[in-house]
Amino acid sequence: MKGERLILSGDIGGTKTYLALFSLHDGVLDAVREGAYQNERYSGPDEVLRDFLRVGEARAIEGASFGIACPVVGNRCVLTNLKWTVDGNALQAGFGLTKLTLINDLEAIGWGVNLLPQQDFFVLQQGVERHGNAALIAAGTGLGEAILFWDGSTHVPSASEGGHTDFGPRDKTETELLGFLIGKYGHVSYERIVSGMGLENIYDFVKARAGFEEPGWLKERIAAEGVAPVVSEEGMKGTDKNCVEALRLFVSIYGAEAGNLALKALATHGVYLGGGITPKILNALASGGFLDSFEDKGRFREFMKGLPVRVILNDRTGLIGAANYAARMLGETVRKVSLPGNR
């Protein structure tokens, strides 16, 4: 098609890498092809790209951007758990790409949210939507945070490492949790609590505080499936009181930190909740504990009640956002994205 431009986008996480090729024409991004890759099978992102790109395809790509789950400095970052060094300039040169830019994964999601249709959100609090900044917080493998600054015409995401700020307990139970985790880690950040490993930490604390181990059936499930998915599922079902209490604490502290970020951002446009865990615990988030903590900000309680709070349901938002960012680097404005359903 005349005027069509080819865009490569990527979403590089701790365990998987997702890549997508888009055609851009008249402000519309159409998905051409997607690929999903288990990172443990590869020694680096260059091998993943070789598997995805077809012969000669790289030369036709005009723009490329990857969202990546680590701090990006100088178009380069290190995924410590994988021992991967991701160098955007080296990948660009090695594959003959015109331009490849690395951005933080939350920044990529931030570039994607405004392109999502309404059905890609679960509304926790309707609020009153106004022009202004927005906040983005995402609980998954870690805890990501970003501010989406309103520039008068669009939202411009700014990455942060806010998940590594000091955890601040609000009551006796949370103070005991802090003491428990200080003994384990020394420094205790919100990511040590509001994340996959965080839910495991909370569960260990709840068990130690209760003074007994989980029943045999639960121990078997956890051994087979992992702590976070089992504890969250059984906590929502109400089948085990330790799971119920662990999930209650998780949701409450998640809400408190989301509220902290909303205040720091002055997020009059609202708050977006992302990450792999969040859409899996919608019932727990909607039960009231999240918003109780979110709104519990003293003299700013009424302000907090007026902020829209939405859960992002589309797990391709990072891919969409990275493609949108690459298009902007080409001077293009994206109005619409065509990308089928969730993975």
pLDDT at 128: 95
pLDDT at 339: 72
Give the 3-state secondary structure of residue 68: strand
pLDDT digits (tens, 9 = 90+) for 175-224: 999 999 999 999 999 999 999 999 999 999 999 998 877 899 999 999 99
Helix axes 241-265, 196-210, angle to 10 degrees: 130
pLDDT at 2: 57
pLDDT at 13: 87
pLDDT at 53: 92
CA distance 85 to 70: 11
The number of helices, as runs of H, and strands, as runs of E, in the chain is 12, 14
- Please give the mean pLDDT across all residues of the chain: 94
pLDDT at 340: 61
pLDDT at 89: 95
Q: Look at residue 52 and tell me whether its pLDDT is greater than 70.
A: yes
Q: Look at residue 1 and tell me whether its pLDDT is greater than 70.
A: no
User: What Å distances lie between residue 59 and 33, 34, 66, 97, 98, CA to CA?
Assistant: 16, 18, 18, 6, 8
Alpha helices in the chain (DSSP H): 45-52, 88-95, 105-112, 172-185, 196-210, 216-225, 227-237, 241-265, 282-286, 289-295, 301-305, 317-329
* Residue 342 confidence class, pLDDT cut points 50, 70, 90: low
Q: How far is CA 85 from the centre of its chain?
A: 21
Q: Look at residue 85 and tell me whether its pLDDT is greater than 60.
A: yes
- Tell me what the mean pLDDT of segment 36-56 comes to: 91
Q: How far is CA 338 from the centre of its chain?
A: 21
pLDDT digits (tens, 9 = 90+) for 118-162: 999 999 999 998 999 999 999 998 999 999 999 999 999 999 999
pLDDT at 343: 54
* Residue 341 confidence class, pLDDT cut points 50, 70, 90: low
- Tell me what the mean pLDDT of segment 308-336 comes to: 95
pLDDT at 83: 83
CA distance 284 to 209: 22
Select from 102, 88, 100, 106 the least CA-distant residue to 157.
Answer: 106
- Tell me what the mean pLDDT of segment 256-268 comes to: 98
All structural domains of the chain, each given as residue ranges with its CATH number in brackets, are 5-112+316-338 (3.30.420.40), 119-313 (3.40.367.20)
pLDDT digits (tens, 9 = 90+) for 302-315: 999 999 999 999 99
pLDDT at 91: 94
Contact status, residue 240 vs residue 105, Cβ threshold 8 Å: no
Percent share of the chain, pLDDT over 70: 98
